[in-house]
């Protein structure tokens, strides 16, 4: 499809819309680079990765999304799905006609279509080790030129089409370089787009995997997207690509100050132990679940300075659930999922768990039977998948808090640490923002998932924010997921999670 064909279809659709008896044509949302609050919808993954699928978009999805009351889709794409084989700067006509058709579906069903390069020439958040310095988007001239060229070609193809219908989202979740390096290539692409189509609505994901606003792009009238994946112990529970495949079910609220990693120290250094400060008046049964061990290491449990339990690990030779390799060091890692029991001596005031040797040990749960072995224990579950267990734990009223936040209000912490920087950015620069991705992987507990979703939607609603759930169909979505303890209803050939869909619809109806 060339642009002329697109306009022919557009004229036809406009004519149909003028007919009072035509019920399928819906009005596109009004899209303003200063305000994206009216956009709510989903990510569609038909061209998400060349290793998985590169298929046409489905009209059924657009119709259902529209019928349910949503008006936005983001299309994260792998450049290899839309370019000629081996030519990362040349769009391929056949796949691009699929994209043209998606935009036509958007026009027909009143849905704004946001085109995103999820895997760009030289960079993908999920394949950061794939590219050498010469082929990287951050340092390779050919990759940078290809990135700019693809966006210029997009601008030429869709020039003149309303911003209500289509926008460009430059790059998914930039990270792994300096912000200056991202800005250099992003601004080149912005200028190339605007040279062809001066008024095109352009979006940028926030810096640092979509976590941080980028004030330097505000003068270019570029709106920005951030992520709603917090905490990842919930949103990516069971996801093997985030090192969160194993471990106990998360809780909500979740103590984000306590991380999984118990790190070994160097010569004379204690490293980063897991620390529990509590006066154990009586001998207390305890058990700890070890998830992963990186490098040959010994776990030592200490009461004060005295070792009360130890266990040695060697991922090279031990029988383990799985072998992995630490990406940052290349060290062999073993997945253990072992539960070890010990007793905390009476009189203990500080209990610590150390990694001696190796790189690190991760734990999934520490249970302390402070009321006796026959009673429910105090269960300490880390809330942060990747960070260190460097905040001391205090036992309190049958639960635990971290020493740095004994009266933690996780609602306030989320707003202060994650949301308010974006709200302040929006207000200061008078520029639109929205949640470009959010959702919960299908392996998370049902009750935790629903409680978390209701909280996030209510919070975003307070600030009048638009959002796009990852995804519509699939493991994060409302259709065709495999969530446990879920009743599904068949709708137009899709198995729909009606309870989850109800929460989403209520969030946009108020």
Same domain, 262 and 229: no
Q: Which residues contact 13 (CB under 8 A, 6 or more apart)?
A: 25, 104, 107, 108
Same domain, 395 and 423: no
Residue-wise pLDDT tens digits, 284-293: 999 999 999 9
Same domain, 185 and 264: no
**Alpha-carbon distance 62 to 16, whole Å?**
18
Q: Is the pLDDT of residue 328 over 60?
A: yes
Q: Is the pLDDT of residue 9 over 70?
A: no
Write the CATH number for 114: 3.20.20.80
- Is 214 contained in some domain? yes
pLDDT value of residue 510: 64
pLDDT value of residue 329: 87
Our CA angle for 408, 414, 416, nearest 5°, is 90
Same domain, 356 and 417: no
- Is 271 contained in some domain? yes
Q: Is the pLDDT of residue 6 over 90?
A: no
Query: How much is the average pLDDT of 436-462?
Result: 97
Q: Is the peptide bond before 280 cis (omega within 30 degrees of 0)?
A: no
Same domain, 188 and 274: no
Same domain, 426 and 388: no
Q: Is the pLDDT of residue 13 over 80?
A: no
Q: Is the pLDDT of residue 5 over 50?
A: no
**Alpha-carbon distance 367 to 363, whole Å?**
11
Residue-wise pLDDT tens digits, 353-370: 999 999 999 999 999 999
- Is 241 contained in some domain? no
Q: Is the pLDDT of residue 345 over 60?
A: yes
**Tokens representing 25?**
């044509």
Burial 158-172 (b: 16+ CB within 10 A, else e): beebebbbbbbbbbb
pLDDT value of residue 53: 83
Which residues form the domain of 47? 3-235+412-509
Determine whether 472 is exposed, middle or buried from the number of CB atoms within 10 Å of its CB (0-12, 13-18, 19+): buried
Domain boundary among 402, 435, 458: 402
Q: Is the pLDDT of residue 16 over 70?
A: no
Scanning 341-470, the segments in alpha helix (DSSP H) are 410-414, 420-429, 446-462
- Is 248 contained in some domain? no
Our CA angle for 331, 352, 268, nearest 5°, is 60
- Is 178 contained in some domain? yes
Same domain, 280 and 361: yes
**Tokens representing 450?**
């629903």
Same domain, 265 and 381: yes
Residue-wise pLDDT tens digits, 103-140: 999 999 999 999 999 999 999 998 888 899 999 999 99
Same domain, 53 and 111: yes
Domain boundary among 384, 402, 420: 402
Same domain, 109 and 145: yes
Same domain, 38 and 122: yes
The proportion of the chain whose per-residue pLDDT surpasses 90, expressed as a percent, equals 84
**Alpha-carbon distance 181 to 139, whole Å?**
8
- Is 249 contained in some domain? no
**Alpha-carbon distance 231 to 5, whole Å?**
45
Number of DSSP helices (H) and strands (E) in the chain, helices first = 12, 24
- Is 360 contained in some domain? yes
Entry pTM: 0.91
- Is 250 contained in some domain? no
**Tokens representing 504?**
């989403």
Element (H, E) at 502: helix 498-509
Q: How many other CB atoms are there within 10 angstroms of residue 470's CB atom?
A: 24
The proportion of the chain whose per-residue pLDDT surpasses 70, expressed as a percent, equals 95
Same domain, 8 and 87: yes
Going by pLDDT thresholds of 50, 70 and 90, the confidence category of residue 240 is: confident
Element (H, E) at 155: helix 141-158
């Amino acid at each position: 499809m060339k642009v002329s064909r697109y306009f022919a279809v557009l004229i036809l659709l406009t004519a149909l819309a003028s007919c009072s008896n035509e019920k399928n044509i819906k009005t596109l949302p009004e899209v303003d680079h200063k305000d994206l609050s009216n956009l709510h919808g989903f990510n569609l993954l038909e061209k998400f990765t060349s290793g998985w699928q590169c298929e046409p978009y489905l009209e059924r999805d657009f119709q259902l999304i529209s019928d349910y009351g949503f008006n936005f889709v983001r299309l994260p794409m792998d450049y290899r799905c839309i370019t000629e084989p081996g030519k990362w700067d040349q769009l391929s006509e056949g796949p691009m006609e699929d994209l043209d058709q998606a935009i036509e579906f958007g026009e027909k069903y009143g849905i704004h279509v946001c085109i995103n390069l999820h895997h760009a020439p030289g960079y993908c958040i999920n394949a950061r080790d794939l590219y050498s310095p010469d082929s990287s988007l951050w340092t390779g001239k050919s990759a940078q030129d290809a990135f700019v060229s693809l966006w210029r070609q997009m601008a030429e193809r869709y020039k003149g089409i309303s911003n209500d219908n289509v926008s460009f989202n430059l790059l998914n979740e930039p990270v792994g370089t300096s912000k200056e390096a991202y800005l250099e290539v992003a601004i080149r692409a912005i200028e190339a787009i605007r040279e062809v189509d001066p008024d095109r609505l352009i979006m940028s994901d926030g810096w640092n995997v979509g976590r941080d606003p980028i004030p330097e792009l505000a003068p270019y009238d570029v709106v920005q997207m951030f992520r709603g994946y917090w905490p990842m112990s919930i949103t990516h529970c069971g996801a093997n690509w985030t090192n969160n495949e194993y471990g106990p079910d998360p809780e909500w609220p979740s103590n984000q100050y306590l991380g999984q990693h118990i790190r070994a120290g160097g010569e004379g250094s204690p490293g980063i132990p897991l620390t529990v400060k509590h006066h154990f008046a009586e001998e207390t049964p305890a058990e700890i679940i070890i998830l992963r061990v990186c490098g040959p290491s010994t776990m030592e449990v200490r009461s004060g300075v005295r070792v009360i339990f130890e266990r040695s690990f060697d991922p090279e030779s031990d029988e383990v659930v799985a072998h992995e390799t630490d990406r940052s060091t290349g060290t062999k890692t073993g997945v253990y999922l072992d539960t070890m029991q010990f007793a905390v001596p009476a009189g203990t005031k500080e209990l610590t768990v150390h990694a001696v040797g190796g790189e690190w040990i991760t734990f999934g749960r520490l249970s302390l039977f402070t009321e006796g072995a026959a009673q429910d224990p105090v269960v300490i579950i880390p809330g942060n998948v990747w960070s260190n267990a460097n905040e001391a734990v205090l036992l309190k009223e049958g639960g635990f808090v971290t020493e740095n936040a004994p009266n933690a209000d996780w609602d306030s912490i989320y707003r202060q640490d994650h949301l308010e920087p974006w709200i302040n950015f929006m207000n200061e620069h008078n520029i639109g923002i929205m949640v470009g991705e959010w959702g919960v992987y299908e392996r998370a507990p049902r009750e935790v998932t629903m409680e978390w979703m209701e909280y996030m939607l209510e919070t975003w609603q307070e600030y009048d924010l638009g959002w796009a759930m990852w995804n519509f169909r699939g493991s994060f979505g409302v259709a065709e997921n495999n969530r446990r303890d879920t009743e599904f209803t068949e709708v137009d050939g899709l198995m729909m999670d009606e309870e989850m869909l109800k929460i989403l619809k209520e969030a946009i109806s108020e």
